[in-house]
Structure 1
């Protein structure tokens, strides 16, 4: 009985360490309040240029990974809503057809996928699954949900 309690205590200690590390990583991400969600094409281009820097990209992924939910769909939708305004989402689709911005070609797409996979509850999500929910979120953005 004592051994099981010791194991549980070790697991809880490890969980607390992981949470503390994630919180420290995310707290290092400094952003202007106006950066996220991205509201227009100019803001998107600025974010894309910042995402070229690995340090900024890592900090953003850590920051976004704390926003996650309990399943892949909810996590992706929450991250998309947090990163892109509905107005910009209406000007964006997956492939960039009809003069819209292509989400598939953005560094932001890669950051969202990485953030979903960094969430302990969704770390086994496949890239295909995450992309499917991103596409669906963009498709429904025209309805102002």
Structure 2
């Protein structure tokens, strides 16, 4: 009988914590206000605007809170979903981790830090390491050319003899 009461108390504590998390996330969502069309960033000018906004700590906090609501059940899905919500695939094709070949460097952007913070703020992925998040961000950028029919279009082009 005592064991059953202990288990019920544990369940009650878990439910209380879940309600707290949901309440916090609801408050965070109402705090984020941004210009219409800011996300996903579609071009270099939009990226520069976002980067200058991210210099302001209040905007950065609001964006992180907003993005943390987007999360999924594991780190990879969360990162990929956040990346999709923050930059368009067209811009992703012009971006890589280090900025080689004339592309924009994701590693040097404030957006990178915001995505990592948002992943860690999500209760389901809060134990994610920076290295793990970066690894999934790199992979998402690498696959940009294959998304939105890119692989299919390349397959249809006849190879030169």
- TM bucket, shorter chain: over 0.9
Q: CA deviation at 1:79?
A: 0.3
Distance, in Å, in 2 between the alignment partners of 1:33 and 1:26 is 15
Q: Following TM superposition, by how much is the alpha carbon of 1:26 offset from its aligned partner in structure 2, in angstroms?
A: 2.0
The count of corresponding residues between Structure 1 and Structure 2 is: 142
Q: Provide Cα deviations, 1:90-125, integer angstroms capped at 9, x if missing partner.
A: 111100111111000000000000011111111111
Where 1:47 maps in the other structure, the secondary structure is: helix
Where do 5+ consecutive residues of structure 2 fail to align? 146-161
Task: Please state if 1:132 is matched with 2:96.
Answer: no
Q: CA deviation at 1:7?
A: 2.7
1:25 Cα shift? 1.3
Q: TM-score, normalised by structure 2?
A: 0.85
TM-score, with normalisation over the residues of structure 1?
0.94
Runs of 4+ more than 6 Å apart? none
Cα shift at 1:12: 0.5
Aligned to 1:21: 24
Alignment of 1:73 onto 2:73: no
Deviation at 1:59, TM superposition (A): 0.7
Shift of the alpha carbon at 1:15? 1.4
Deviations 1:17-59 (A, max 9, x none): 1210121012110123300000000000000001001111011
Give ranges in structure 1 of 5+ residues lacking alignment: none
Larger Rg: 2
- CA distance in 1 between partners of 2:123 and 2:86 (Å): 20
Instruction: Provide the aligned C-alpha RMSD in A.
Output: 1.0
Q: CA deviation at 1:76?
A: 0.4
